[in-house]
Structure 1
Amino acid sequence: MHLSAYLLLVASLLFALFFAGAAAAQLWQGRSTALPWIEKAHLMLTGFMTLSSVVLLHALVNFDFSLVYVASYTDRALPLFYRMTAFWAGQAGSMLFWGWSVALFGVIFALTGGYRELSPQTKLWYWLFFLSVMAFFLLILTAWSNPFLTAAPAPADGNGLNPLLQNPGMIFHPPLLFLGYGGFAIPGCLALAQAMSNGYGREGAWAGISRPFTLCAWLFLTAGIVLGGWWSYMELGWGGYWAWDPVENASLIPWLVSTAFLHTSVIESRRGKLHRVNILLMALTTISAFFATYLVRSGVVDSLHAFGDGGVGRPLLIFILASIALTVAVTLVWRKDDAKPLSGIDSREGFLVLVAWVLLALSAIILVATMWPVFSKFWVEKPMGLEPAFYNRVCLPLFAGIAVLLSICPWLGWKGGVRSMPKLLAVLGVMAAVTAMTWYAYRMPMAALGAGAGAACVAGIIILLTTEAHVRRNNASLAAHGVHLGLALMVLGVAFSGPYKLEQEVEIPRDATVKLGKYDLRYVNLYEGEGAGYIFIEAELNVTREGAPVGVLSPQRRLYAKFDRQAYAEAATIFGLGDELYATLLGVDAEGAATLKVSVNPLVNWVWIGGTLMCIAPFLGLRRPSSSRDEDDDTGDGQEA
């Protein structure tokens, strides 16, 4: 069975290579007779990959330790659900899941009406690019990262799943990231295909045709990033949700580039401008997803989340460089003769372009900073990565600036000027008031600006939705403003939860009390117990505020049987829309005194609430937009991203 699954991957590789070559030959000959066979070939390829994935999943569920992959990431004590999610716990399985996701997206796209609208030449270019991507995935899976390697004799039990991955956040975080990365392959390949066929104007615009896939990929990636932050907050026990780890940054870069595209694509759909820019941005989004994989799997940087090299680093780098060269060549060659100049900086166009530029600047800064240990090898003997303080100092002002721009943008006309000065002044008044109050209370400029900008975004969207009926009737506008509302809530959560967090690390005997701000935490008991594959100690803390009970914190310290060299923290929280209480048990001495890290995190749950809204709102705008555009309408809100 295992050999058959591997041979199916080899067959899929041969299908992808042969029919990508067939598409190239048909383009060279100016024919399209093989197009139906190419479409059927991808369907067959996807079926083969599906069967291989089912074989791996079956092996994981049924303790088939003859597979090296199964023995490496599961054991007999692991619950069924975690055995299934071990599919993407390792390098080989996650590459198979990602490649399979790309293949499935390709099948779905080929069944859409938008695909049927494309000319045969554009379809051939699309399949040439798409099947080349599939061939690269399959080459990785059959040459360097084979999930079907076998061990003889098979061990009686496996190594088990890393305890940090045994968390609901990590069940969904990786596959959502892979679905996001994979989804961008459709618009990325289609953008280059339509540019090469010069089909713009003769068929539906690629950005509109692929819009549902772009939004789905964006919301999957957003959900993956938000869940990753929640996992860090709940599982790592350090009380934070973003540490500027290289792998965290790797997922943020394609998100930033794709978000920039979503804003510039509005200008293309509404005003008929920035066609070449949008081709470049979407292709770079797809390439940056591969770069994220390179960071995780090349061993080029150290990270808690990285898999190490495994031989795939160099092939990935070659593929990325070749893709960049192809993208640059296509965008330089392609031209649209009726391209129009942009409006001034005081227009909605100008502000959308400015938002896109800031997002791209952030992605460039994060890219360079993440790769700094690699770059600095040329002049430093022992290079070191940049600390989180660098990212906070450089990036947070730009993120706050984006919130300011998004507060003002809806009140500007497409050609320039302010659509409603009283409403804009009301929004700016909210921003100034909240900024001033926060600055007066805490004297932290970036946090104060972020709080003011977040509050202004929320106020502006409420004003817009309650006073302008055309916005409420337009699903694309509702989706855009729902995303912006979620972002504003996240900005508020970040502005308060980080700078204004109260935190202490204390050693406390039983029946003693530690004071943290307005809260009293009394250490009342210590328990020992056993779970599935681990033993634990648990401290019980009664929390009161001014004598009134608030709740109980029960942080644990766990020792897993197969990972006994390190104890793992299981944080405890008391939920609150204002303050959230957070505790981590660091250790216990012979007398039962506990060493604890306790904190009060203000508004932290608005980060997760806002992130959830950002993931839900795009569903309202999944329908393809109409091809008509209104060049002169400054009152309509448009399909803002």
Structure 2
Amino acid sequence: MHLLAYLLLVASLMFCIGFGTIAVMQLWQGRTLVLPWMEKAHLMVTALMTVSSLILLWALVNFDFSNSYVARYTSLDLSTFYRMTAFWAGQAGSLLFWAWSVAIFGVFFLYSDAYKALSEGTKVWFWLIFLSVMAFMLLLLTSWSNPFTMISPAPRDGNGLNPLLQNPGMIFHPPLLFLGYGGFAIPGCLALAQALNGSVKQEGSWTAISRNFTLIAWLCLSAGIILGGWWAYMELGWGGYWAWDPVENASLIPWLVGTAFLHTSVIESRRNKLHRINIFLMALTTISAFFATYLVRSGVVDSLHAFGDGGVGTPLLIFIILFTGISLLTALQYKHPESRPLSEPASREGFLVLTAWVLLALGIIILVATMWPVFSKFWSESPLGLEPAFYNRVCLPLFVVISALLMVCPWLGWKGGIRDPKRFGIVLASAAVAAGVLISMGYTLPMAVAGGATAIACLAGIALLFATEPAMRRSMRSIAAYGVHVGLALTVLGVAISGPYKQEQQIELGLNESVQVGSYTFTYKQLNQGETRAYIFIEADLEVTRNGKAVGPMHPQRRLYHKFPSSAFSEAATIFSLGNEMYATLLGANEGHKATLKLSVNPLVNWVWIGGTLMCLFPLLGLSTYRKRENGDPDAV
């Protein structure tokens, strides 16, 4: 059965190469006769990959340890749910899931109204580029990262799933990232296809045609990143949600590029400008998704999440370089028949472009900093990565700038100037009041105050917009766009306060001893021990009080899994709060039941998750049926 699954992947590769070659011949001859067969070929590729994927899933669920991937990432004591999610736990399985996601998005696009609006020439170009991407991914799966290699004789039990991955956040975090990467392949390939075919006047802009796919990809990627932060906060036991780890950074880079595109695409759809920039930005979003994969799978950087090389690093790098070169040349040669110059910088157009530039600058800084150990090898024998302090010092001010732009941009006219000075004055006044309130509460660090004040002013401005402009309330696109901005503002507020003002102590306590963290008292009451089928554990019972009043109990655990006897894992405990959240990690205990604990008070941290959730949900309201000519709300951002 596993041989069959592998042969189906090989057949899929042959279909992609064969019909990609036919597409080149058709374009060379100026014909589109084989287009229906190319569409059917993609359906066949998707069907074959679906069968291969289901075979792997069946093997994971049914303990088929003759498969090397199954033996490596599952075990007899693993629940069915986690056996299924082991599909994307390793390099080969996650790559298969990503390629499968790309194929499925291709099927949805094939049957969409947007695809029907394309000319036949653009369709042939699209399938040439899309099938080339699919062929490369299938080449990786059939050559360097095969999920169907066999073991003989088969072991009686597998190695088990890393305990860090046995968490609800990691059930959804990786597949959402891959769905985001896969979704961006549609607009990325379409942008290049329409530019090469030169048919924008006949069929409408690709930005409008692929809009739904862009939004779905963006919200999936956003959700994957937010869930990854929540997983780190709840499962790693260090009390934080973002450590500027290379693999965390890798997923953030395509998000930044894609978000930059969302802002410049508004200028194209509303003002008929920035066509070349948008083509390259969308292609770059797709490329940066492959770069994220390169970081995880090439072994060039050390990370908690990285898989190591496995032979795919060099092919990925070659593909990234070639795709980047083709995309850049395509964008440079493109000439839109009706393009117009930008308005003055102090306009909504100018601020949207500035927002995109800040997002891209963040992406470049993070890229260079992440790759610093690689670059520094040219002049140092002992290259070192950059510490989180560097990222915080350089990147956080730029995130505050984005928050400030978010506050100002809705009040600018498209051609320049403030469109409503009185209401804009109210927004500025709310920023000043918010800054004063934050300072009076003891939050005095400049970046925290600036980030919190601009975020609160942004929220006030959006509320004012919708309260005073009925047209905004009637536009689903405006609701979707500003809803995302509300989520981002709440996230900025949570990040601005929770990081710098976290109060933390690591201490050893005996039974019934207490420690003060901020205004909260943690009392260690009891140590419990137990065992489950998968692990043994110790658990500390804590009581938390404030000014003598009970806040609640906490039960952090330290676990030793049977399959991973050399490593102990923490299971953090929290007391939820929209203000100060209690957080406790048990680091260990001695025979006298003295416990070593890490205790912290994290202010406003849950607004990060609330804001992130809103950012992932509101784009759904912006989805719409494609119409060839659309007249959007001029105030939609």
TM above 0.5, yes or no, is yes
Matching residue of 2:519: 518
Contact 1:471/1:637, CA 8 A, preserved across alignment:
no
Give the Cα–Cα distance (whole angstroms) in 1 for the partners of residues 362 and 112 of structure 2: 35
TM-superposition CA deviations, 1:144-182 (whole Å, max 9, x none): 000000000000000000000000000000000000000
Whichever residue aligns with residue 226 of structure 1, its letter is: I
Contact 2:505/2:600, CA 8 A, preserved across alignment:
yes
Q: How do residues 619-638 of structure 1 correspond to structure 2 at under 5 angstroms?
A: 619-624=620-625, 628=629, 636-638=633-635
Whichever residue aligns with residue 355 of structure 2, its letter is: V
**SS of structure 1 residue aligned to 2:201:** coil
**SS of structure 1 residue aligned to 2:203:** coil
Q: How many residues align?
A: 636
Q: How do residues 381-396 of structure 1 correspond to structure 2 at under 5 angstroms?
A: 381-396=381-396
Matching residue of 2:361: 361
Matched, 1:477 2:442: no
Matching residue of 2:176: 176
The 1:539/1:183 distance shift into structure 2, 3 A limit, reads same
TM-superposition CA deviations, 1:315-371 (whole Å, max 9, x none): 000000000010111011111243211111211111101100000000000000000
Give the Cα–Cα distance (whole angstroms) in 1 for the partners of residues 408 and 147 of structure 2: 51
Whichever residue aligns with residue 497 of structure 2, its letter is: F
Matching residue of 2:339: 339
Give the Cα–Cα distance (whole angstroms) in 2 for the partners of residues 439 and 580 of structure 1: 21
Contact 1:486/1:614, CA 8 A, preserved across alignment:
yes
Matching residue of 1:461: 462
Give the Cα–Cα distance (whole angstroms) in 2 for the partners of residues 621 and 99 of structure 1: 27
Identity percentage over the alignment? Answer: 66
Give the Cα–Cα distance (whole angstroms) in 1 for the partners of residues 530 and 462 of structure 2: 50
Give the Cα–Cα distance (whole angstroms) in 2 for the partners of residues 454 and 303 of structure 1: 32
Per the TM alignment, residue 466 of structure 1 is displaced from its structure 2 partner at its CA by 1.2
Q: How do residues 214-613 of structure 1 correspond to structure 2 at under 5 angstroms?
A: 214-439=214-439, 441-613=442-614
Give the Cα–Cα distance (whole angstroms) in 1 for the partners of residues 532 and 450 of structure 2: 46
Whichever residue aligns with residue 322 of structure 1, its letter is: L
Per the TM alignment, residue 100 of structure 1 is displaced from its structure 2 partner at its CA by 0.3
Give the Cα–Cα distance (whole angstroms) in 2 for the partners of residues 629 and 39 of structure 1: 27
TM-superposition CA deviations, 1:383-433 (whole Å, max 9, x none): 100000000000000000000001011111111111111111111111122
Per the TM alignment, residue 547 of structure 1 is displaced from its structure 2 partner at its CA by 1.2
**SS of structure 2 residue aligned to 1:592:** coil
Per the TM alignment, residue 204 of structure 1 is displaced from its structure 2 partner at its CA by 2.2
Whichever residue aligns with residue 386 of structure 2, its letter is: L
Q: How do residues 6-17 of structure 1 correspond to structure 2 at under 5 angstroms?
A: 6-17=6-17
**Greater CA drift, 544-553 or 209-218:** 544-553
Please list every run of at least 4 consecutive aligned residues from structure 1 whose deviation after the TM superposition is greater than 6 angstroms.
none
**SS of structure 2 residue aligned to 1:569:** strand
Per the TM alignment, residue 513 of structure 1 is displaced from its structure 2 partner at its CA by 1.0
Contact 1:271/1:629, CA 8 A, preserved across alignment:
no
Give the Cα–Cα distance (whole angstroms) in 2 for the partners of residues 304 and 430 of structure 1: 42
Per the TM alignment, residue 443 of structure 1 is displaced from its structure 2 partner at its CA by 2.4
Whichever residue aligns with residue 522 of structure 1, its letter is: T
Give the Cα–Cα distance (whole angstroms) in 1 for the partners of residues 533 and 463 of structure 2: 48
Whichever residue aligns with residue 59 of structure 1, its letter is: A
Per the TM alignment, residue 626 of structure 1 is displaced from its structure 2 partner at its CA by 5.2
Whichever residue aligns with residue 219 of structure 1, its letter is: L
Matching residue of 2:55: 55
Per the TM alignment, residue 436 of structure 1 is displaced from its structure 2 partner at its CA by 3.2
Whichever residue aligns with residue 66 of structure 2, its letter is: S
**Greater CA drift, 464-473 or 603-612:** 464-473
Flag structure 2 segments of 5+ consecutive residues without an equivalent. none
Per the TM alignment, residue 618 of structure 1 is displaced from its structure 2 partner at its CA by 0.1
Give the Cα–Cα distance (whole angstroms) in 2 for the partners of residues 298 and 312 of structure 1: 6
Give the Cα–Cα distance (whole angstroms) in 1 for the partners of residues 604 and 83 of structure 2: 35
Whichever residue aligns with residue 523 of structure 1, its letter is: Y
Whichever residue aligns with residue 530 of structure 1, its letter is: E
Give the Cα–Cα distance (whole angstroms) in 1 for the partners of residues 244 and 431 of structure 2: 28
Per the TM alignment, residue 639 of structure 1 is displaced from its structure 2 partner at its CA by 3.6
The 1:625/1:10 distance shift into structure 2, 3 A limit, reads closer
Give the Cα–Cα distance (whole angstroms) in 1 for the partners of residues 625 and 50 of structure 2: 29
Give the Cα–Cα distance (whole angstroms) in 2 for the partners of residues 332 and 38 of structure 1: 28
Per the TM alignment, residue 520 of structure 1 is displaced from its structure 2 partner at its CA by 1.0
**SS of structure 2 residue aligned to 1:218:** helix
Contact 1:211/1:624, CA 8 A, preserved across alignment:
no
Matching residue of 1:31: 31
Give the Cα–Cα distance (whole angstroms) in 2 for the partners of residues 578 and 286 of structure 1: 38
Matching residue of 2:204: 204
Whichever residue aligns with residue 434 of structure 1, its letter is: A
Contact 2:358/2:402, CA 8 A, preserved across alignment:
yes
Whichever residue aligns with residue 575 of structure 2, its letter is: I
Whichever residue aligns with residue 253 of structure 2, its letter is: I
Matching residue of 1:119: 119
Contact 1:191/1:206, CA 8 A, preserved across alignment:
yes
Give the Cα–Cα distance (whole angstroms) in 2 for the partners of residues 350 and 566 of structure 1: 53
**SS of structure 1 residue aligned to 2:214:** helix
**Greater CA drift, 417-426 or 26-35:** 417-426
**SS of structure 2 residue aligned to 1:542:** strand
Give the Cα–Cα distance (whole angstroms) in 2 for the partners of residues 124 and 116 of structure 1: 13
Per the TM alignment, residue 439 of structure 1 is displaced from its structure 2 partner at its CA by 3.9
Whichever residue aligns with residue 251 of structure 2, its letter is: S
Whichever residue aligns with residue 203 of structure 1, its letter is: E
Per the TM alignment, residue 625 of structure 1 is displaced from its structure 2 partner at its CA by 6.3
TM-superposition CA deviations, 1:202-222 (whole Å, max 9, x none): 112111010000000000000
The CA RMSD measured in Å over matched residues stands at 1.1
Contact 2:204/2:629, CA 8 A, preserved across alignment:
no
**Greater CA drift, 345-354 or 149-158:** 345-354
What is the TM-score when the length of structure 2 is the normalising length? 0.99
Per the TM alignment, residue 637 of structure 1 is displaced from its structure 2 partner at its CA by 4.4
Contact 2:117/2:628, CA 8 A, preserved across alignment:
no
**SS of structure 2 residue aligned to 1:608:** helix
Whichever residue aligns with residue 619 of structure 1, its letter is: L
What is the TM-score when the length of structure 1 is the normalising length? 0.98
Give the Cα–Cα distance (whole angstroms) in 1 for the partners of residues 262 and 161 of structure 2: 38
The 1:223/1:562 distance shift into structure 2, 3 A limit, reads same
Give the Cα–Cα distance (whole angstroms) in 2 for the partners of residues 362 and 456 of structure 1: 23
Flag structure 1 segments of 5+ consecutive residues without an equivalent. none
Give the Cα–Cα distance (whole angstroms) in 2 for the partners of residues 564 and 97 of structure 1: 30
